[in-house]
Amino acid sequence: MSRLNPRQQEAVHFVGGPLLVLAGAGSGKTSVITRKIAYLIQQCGIRAQYIVAVTFTNKAAREMKARVSTLLRGGEGKGLTVSTFHNLGLNIIRKEHRHLGYKPGFSIFDEGDIKALVSDIMQKEYAGDDGVAEVMQQIGSWKNDLILPEEALEKARNPREQTAAVVYLHYQRTLKAYNAVDFDDLILQPVKLFQNHPEVLEKWRHKVRYMLVDEYQDTNASQYLLVKLLVQDRAQFTVVGDDDQSIYAWRGARPENLMQLKDDFPSLKVVMLEQNYRSTSRILKCANVLIANNPHVFEKQLWSEMGHGDAIRVIRCRNEEAEAERIALEILTEHLKTDRPYSDFAILYRGNHQAKLMELKLQHHQIPYRLSGGTSFFSRQEVKDLMSYFRLLVNPDDDNAFLRVINVPRREIGSSTLEKLGNYAGERHISLYAACDEMGLAERLDGRFVERLQRFKRYMDKLRQECAQNDPIAALRSMVMDIDYENWVRQNSSSDKAADFRMGNVWFLIDALKNTLEKDEEGGMTIEEAIAKLVLRDMLERQQEEEEGAEGVQMMTLHASKGLEFPSVYIMGMEEEILPHRSSIEADTIEEERRLAYVGITRARQRLAFTYAAKRKQYGEIIECMPSRFLDELPPDDLEWEGQEEAPVEVKAARGNDALAGIKALLKR
């Protein structure tokens, strides 16, 4: 285990009051947090259950947990909370849902659910959903600024904002009726709860005796308020951050938020760290020189003793295909030559759409990889649909599943019907499913709609019976037919081929269920148990996938790479309009894009390469690309430009379908 330097030690040992560690990339900020958790438990006698550490991504939280557990002895870490802001908020809502008026088992709406809902409301209120994305964005930014619908209505200054505020009002009411929250609610609701219920806040303050926040520069107004409420008078906290790595302005985070702390906590102690333990000095110089082009709130120095290191390569490729091919072949060659595990390599990009081609090339060369934020089998639309049907079959109280399937395929049950159903169920404290059958519902809803809901419920009841009495697999297969799911899939797929593929997944899922049933040797397993097993396996497999991923090349967006490090990093698509992104060029927010590039560069420990394409296909047209302005800003002496069309000669010789054999032959030479 590495020894902390004196400044880091100072940060770890300072416990009496509020502390900010402000320092550049790779200077050991996260290390300070993990070591401090151990210090608090082992030296200060604070029990783990009273310590809460917050990070930004699930991946970062998992890593932090793992790092902490190596520092603790058995049992010491029991009850420790290491989570994302959103998970912390979710826990608070779960425990306090009664005060907020939610029923247990409330649903969390994802991006797709939200879009459908907002669009539905706009159709109803304005007979059209033009600009749905802007409205969603506006609602999100109100929520991040803790502005509720009523206040938004008052504050709206122009027709665009007025429209959004009206939609926001309906949206929030509908969510409540659905017993659902969205992503932003996970922070907003706890904050409102604490503001309105001092006795609840007091309880949580008692639980959170010491708080630590990583990547502090990315907290927005509502997240900051949550922290402030929890730590208030005691002011026992440590936050660490780097203003140069603030990359979530679009979610309301600003580098200036760091200044706010000093105003709110005048006794704030600030510790700066200057030694970087991650990267070679050439990589670090690149990062420093680039970020010097941004104005700065704080001046920071960063140096490293990790050696001078190799030059940073900038590789020009003929087109996007050559770019992906080049990266794949380089990694393959390097892996074979040096025996470096594939997990030493990371490929970073600005947007998820850039990953597709890269994935194909890696697959083609049989290079294992792990895609963060990609779609696994169980996150596919059709698999989620079917799983929701299964879930509702075994657990009629699963409102989330109910909402997912009620209009898949369309049953002409609109959001206003569902809103009334939700209200009714909420008052009666019963599930949506159960509410369909209640006499009282008929007083609220037009008979036509009640009939549609009941028809659905009757069908599901019958199916449940079918499953219990006869061959459940046959029953599920015929369900897919009964609801004409294939037709629905065809209508919602881009091509016949895509639809065939999706239907393949549907049958595959039912076969998986069949296998689970058949594998049960005692023969006593009910379909309920089998489905529960499958749901559980769904969760297990997701976890497994995360772990297995350790073996492969890591692919992720620049945003997702925050806090991580890799021996060798490729940043692809270093072109104008990609990085910096076109929208940032138009909105003149280049500084944030520069910070994003800075985050990418500082992930690399020993090797760093940029690639860009001279031409690229965009919206079906071939366009000429300009290398990113950020490349011009880097120190020329530390760069090595490679203008070859696609790959160096020896790699070229090894190309083609038999690349592996070619490279092996090459290595023998």
Binding site for ligand ATP (CB under 6 A): 2-5, 8, 25-31, 242, 245, 277-278, 563, 565, 602
Closer Cβ to ligand ATP, 11 or 403, answer by number: 11
Residues 6 or more apart from 346 whose CB is under 8 A from it? 553, 554, 555, 556, 561, 564, 566, 568, 569, 570, 603
Q: Is 617 known to be catalytic?
A: no
Residues 6 or more apart from 381 whose CB is under 8 A from it? 492, 502
Distance (Å, whole) CA 231 – CA 211? 7
Structure tokens, 365: 């060369």
Closer Cβ to Mg ion, 89 or 563, answer by number: 563
568 annotated among ligand-binding-site residues:
no
Closer Cβ to Mg ion, 29 or 285, answer by number: 29
25 annotated among ligand-binding-site residues:
yes
- The active-site residue out of 35, 361, 603, 629 is 603
Q: Find, among 460, 447, 485, the residue nearest to 396 by Cα.
A: 460
Closer Cβ to Mg ion, 30 or 83, answer by number: 30
* Residue from 4, 20, 27, 30 binding Mg ion (CB under 5 A): 30
Q: Which of ligand ATP, Mg ion, none does residue 25 bind to, with CB < 5 to 8 Å depending on kind?
A: ligand ATP
In the complex, the smallest distance separating the C-beta of residue 32 from ligand ATP, rounded to whole angstroms, is 7
Q: Is 245 known to be catalytic?
A: yes
656 annotated among ligand-binding-site residues:
no
DSSP secondary structure letters along 29-73: HHHHHHHHHHHHHHTS---GGGEEEEESSHHHHHHHHHHHHHHS-
In the complex, the smallest distance separating the C-beta of residue 477 from ligand ATP, rounded to whole angstroms, is 50
Q: Which of ligand ATP, Mg ion, none does residue 164 bind to, with CB < 5 to 8 Å depending on kind?
A: none
Q: How many Å from the N-terminal Cα to the C-terminal Cα in the chain?
A: 41
- The active-site residue out of 7, 8, 29, 320 is 29
Position of minimal CB gap to Mg ion:
30
Q: Is 250 helix (H, G, I), strand (E, B) or coil?
A: helix
Largest CA distance in the chain: 84
CA dihedral 352, 358, 359, 364 (to 10 degrees): 170
Q: Find, among 120, 142, 139, 117, the residue nearest to 129 by Cα.
A: 120
Size of the site for Mg ion (CB under 5 A): 3
Q: Is 123 known to be catalytic?
A: no
Q: Is 5 helix (H, G, I), strand (E, B) or coil?
A: coil
338 annotated among ligand-binding-site residues:
no
Position of minimal CB gap to ligand ATP:
28
Distance (Å, whole) CA 373 – CA 354? 13
From the number of C-beta atoms within 10 Å of its C-beta (0-12, 13-18, 19+), residue 544 rates as exposed
In the complex, the smallest distance separating the C-beta of residue 497 from ligand ATP, rounded to whole angstroms, is 42
Q: Is 516 known to be catalytic?
A: no
The answer to whether the bond into 580 is cis (omega within 30° of 0) is yes
Residue that is written with structure tokens 């002895």 in the block: 73
- The active-site residue out of 57, 245, 354, 516 is 245
30 annotated among ligand-binding-site residues:
yes
391 annotated among ligand-binding-site residues:
no
Q: Which of Mg ion, ligand ATP, none does residue 5 bind to, with CB < 5 to 8 Å depending on kind?
A: ligand ATP
Q: Which of residues 551-570 bind Mg ion (CB under 5 A)?
A: 563
In the complex, the smallest distance separating the C-beta of residue 14 from ligand ATP, rounded to whole angstroms, is 16
Closer Cβ to Mg ion, 190 or 563, answer by number: 563
Tell me if 384 sits within 8 A of 378, measured CB to CB: yes
- The active-site residue out of 215, 382, 399, 593 is 215
In the complex, the smallest distance separating the C-beta of residue 278 from Mg ion, rounded to whole angstroms, is 10
Q: Find, among 268, 230, 236, 244, the residue nearest to 21 by Cα.
A: 268
28 annotated among ligand-binding-site residues:
yes
Closer Cβ to ligand ATP, 24 or 580, answer by number: 24
In the complex, the smallest distance separating the C-beta of residue 82 from Mg ion, rounded to whole angstroms, is 14
Write out the catalytic residue numbers: 29-30, 214-215, 245, 603
Provide the binding-site residues for Mg ion, judged by CB under 5 A: 29-30, 563
- Annotation: binding site for ATP: 23-30, 278
